[in-house]
Amino acid sequence: MTRKRRRLYFVLLGLLGLGAGTALMLTAFQDNIVFFFSPSEVAARHIAPQQRFRVGGLVETGSVVKNGENVSFAVTDMSATLKVQYQGLLPDLFREGQGIVAEGRMGPDGIFVAHEVLAKHDENYMPREVADALKKSGRWQEGEGKSTPHPTTATE
Amino acid sequence: MMEKLLTFLDMGGYALWVWPAYSLTVASLVGILVLTVRGLKAREREFEILKAQRRGGEAS
Amino acid sequence: MGASVGQGWNFDVHRFANPTQFMRIANAIFPWAAGLSALLFVVGLPIALVTSPADYQQGETVRIFYLHAPAAYMCMMVYGIMAVGSAAYLIWRHPMANLVARASAPLGAIFTALCLICGMLWGQPMWGTFWVWDARLTSTLILFFLYLGYIALGDAFEDPERGDKAAAILALVGSVNLPIIKFSVDWWNTLHQPSIMSKKGFSVDAGMLLPLFLMLGAFITFYIAVLILRLRSELLAAKIRNARLSQVAVNHAPQAAE
């Protein structure tokens, strides 16, 4: 029994140590693992003007202004809003109310200049008719899923 | 009929993404199945030859 | 082997670890798994491709989901089996556990590759990019490299037992990646959407859950069926190796006597 027992404890202890080490490392590198900041975090963190970063949130309803290839819109996390300027192709899912992630830099006028805009979609899957019926009855709104970025996720 | 088939193949304009995903999946699964069966058959043959050799060796 | 209690316990484990017993059960399962897999593919593919509805947001691209999500589930499940098999091999030296892990690795690697490729083919039209280095995608790519590393390490040594042990250790060390993949979408914000499973149930319409589960069932039974074929093949390889060794011994014996 002893050798097998010893190997069992060795493997269990090894996994425990490995898990603890990994957890510590992931916590330490939290900021690098997070894919984007919410507008509130952007406001709270003093990001250097030339630093590239990503901001994520919902496209504010009524904020999209298209001018040929130039688009300007606002990204919101419901508590803070950031204006974004972008030139280029937008993904098919881009619309008002949609979750998006934009990568770029802060401009001098406080407007975020994006080089790339990606659409985020939530975990809700349903046919058109079901979505319409749910919306009509007021039981659900687009962009309401739990994937909606909230300011607490990254600061925990 | 023909029209229906074409709309199906078009996948709402996403044919370029949907069809490669399905083709690749089917191809990879068939691929590993064929490789596995072939490997098994080759080993079965090899083992039969070895067994025959051993029987021949015992007889002589 | 003194105490009778310990003997009974050992006897059961031994029976399960015995290749003949194990393969007797596996071979009985094989026709069912193979038949069920074929049936699920034949029923599931037309539902996934034709009769299921398009998504309100993603249109027809949702059909990629019926491959991507089952493949993602498989790549984690197969790795879990590989890690448990490796642990049983390292701790109790079960040869069958090691063979199951070894035979699973190529299947797991293929499911991971399919998960990644189908995800890319889905991400490009929906997100606007094939790939981003967010936590979910990066950790899944690491899983793929773990599979490749496991396969390569197992064959890297002249002594097969040393290769088996090194690969088993790698499989165990890599298992810390599994919870990272699973919870990456909850722990950090990612471009990838969260899980469709939550305490509230599935966030997927019933008409879309059906092809999802049919394809998942098809993948699981496919894995079981091909795994059994690969186990037969691995056991035959071991028999051939032994036969070769004894043949060499027989051929050398008379010469040594002369």
The residue of chain C with its CA nearest to that of A19 is C176
Confidence at residue A129, expressed as pLDDT on a 0 to 100 scale: 85
Chain C, nearest residue to B12 by Cα: C60
B41 in C contact zone (CB under 8 Å): no
- Let me know if residue C248 belongs to a domain: no
CA angle A150, A122, C50 (to 5 degrees): 180
The partner residues of A114 in beta bridges, in order of sequence, read A86, A104
Residues of chain B positioned with their CB less than 8 A from the CB of C59 = 12-14
End-to-end C-alpha distance for chain B, whole angstroms: 72
Minimum CA–CA partner of C168 in chain A: A11
For B37, the domain range is 2-59
**Residue A84: closest CA among A61, A51, A117:** A117
Domains in chain B, number: 1
- In the prediction, which pLDDT does C6 show? 41
- Which residues does residue A113 pair with via DSSP β-bridges, in sequence order? A85, A105
CB contact under 8 A, B14 and C125: yes
Annotated domain spans of chain A: 2-31, 35-136
Fold classified for A35-136: OB fold (Dihydrolipoamide Acetyltransferase, E2P) (2.40.50)
Q: How far is A145 from chain C (nearest CA, A)?
A: 9
Residue of A123, A132, A147 for testing the chain C interface, max C β-carbons within 10 Å: A123
Rounded Cα distance, A22 and C176, in Å: 8
Assembly ipTM: 0.91
Q: Measure in Å the smallest separation between the Cα of B42 and chain C Cα atoms.
A: 9
> Which token pair is C192?
């990838």
What is the distance in angstroms between the Cα of B16 and the nearest Cα belonging to chain C? 9
Residue C197 is predicted with a pLDDT of 86
User: Following DSSP, what letter does each residue of C124-178 receive, concatenated?
Assistant: HHHTS-S----HHHHHHHHHHHHHHHHHHHHTSSSSHHHHHHHHHHHHHHHTTHH
Q: Which residue of A has its CA nearest to C185?
A: A147
Tell me the C-alpha distance between B52 and C217, whole Å: 42
Q: Does the beta carbon of B56 lie under 8 angstroms from any beta carbon of chain C?
A: no
Distance CA C67, CA A18 (A): 33
Which member of C222, C233, C239 has the closest CB to residue B39? C233
The list of chain A residues with pLDDT below 50 reads 145-156
Q: Which of residues 68-87 of A touch C (CB under 8 A)?
A: none
Burial class (CB in 10 A: 0-12, 13-18, 19+), B7: exposed
Per-residue pLDDT 10s for chain C (258 aa) are: 444 444 444 444 455 567 888 899 999 999 999 999 999 999 999 999 999 999 998 999 999 999 999 999 999 999 999 999 999 999 999 889 999 999 999 999 999 999 999 999 999 999 999 999 999 999 999 999 999 999 999 989 888 889 999 999 999 999 999 999 999 999 998 999 989 988 888 899 899 999 999 999 999 999 999 999 999 999 999 889 888 887 777 666 655 444
Measured distance CA(A153)–CA(C196) in Å, rounded: 19
**Domain residues for C177?**
63-199
| Cβ proximity of A53 and A103 under 8 Å | yes
pLDDT at A150: 37
Mean pLDDT by 10 residues, chain B (60 residues): 88 94 97 97 94 73
Report yes or no on C54 lying in a domain.
Answer: no
pLDDT at C227: 97
In chain C, the number of structural domains is 1
For residue C242, is it within any domain?
Answer: no
Cβ–Cβ < 8 Å for A29, A72: no
What does pLDDT average to over chain B? 90
Contact C60, B18 (CB under 8 A): yes
Instruction: State the Cα–Cα distance between residues C19 and B38, nearest whole angstrom.
Output: 22
- Of the residues A18, A27, A33, the best mutation for testing chain C's interface (the one with the most C CB atoms within 10 Å of its CB) is A33
Which pLDDT score is estimated for A153?
Answer: 34
CB of B23 within 8 Å of a chain C CB? The answer is no
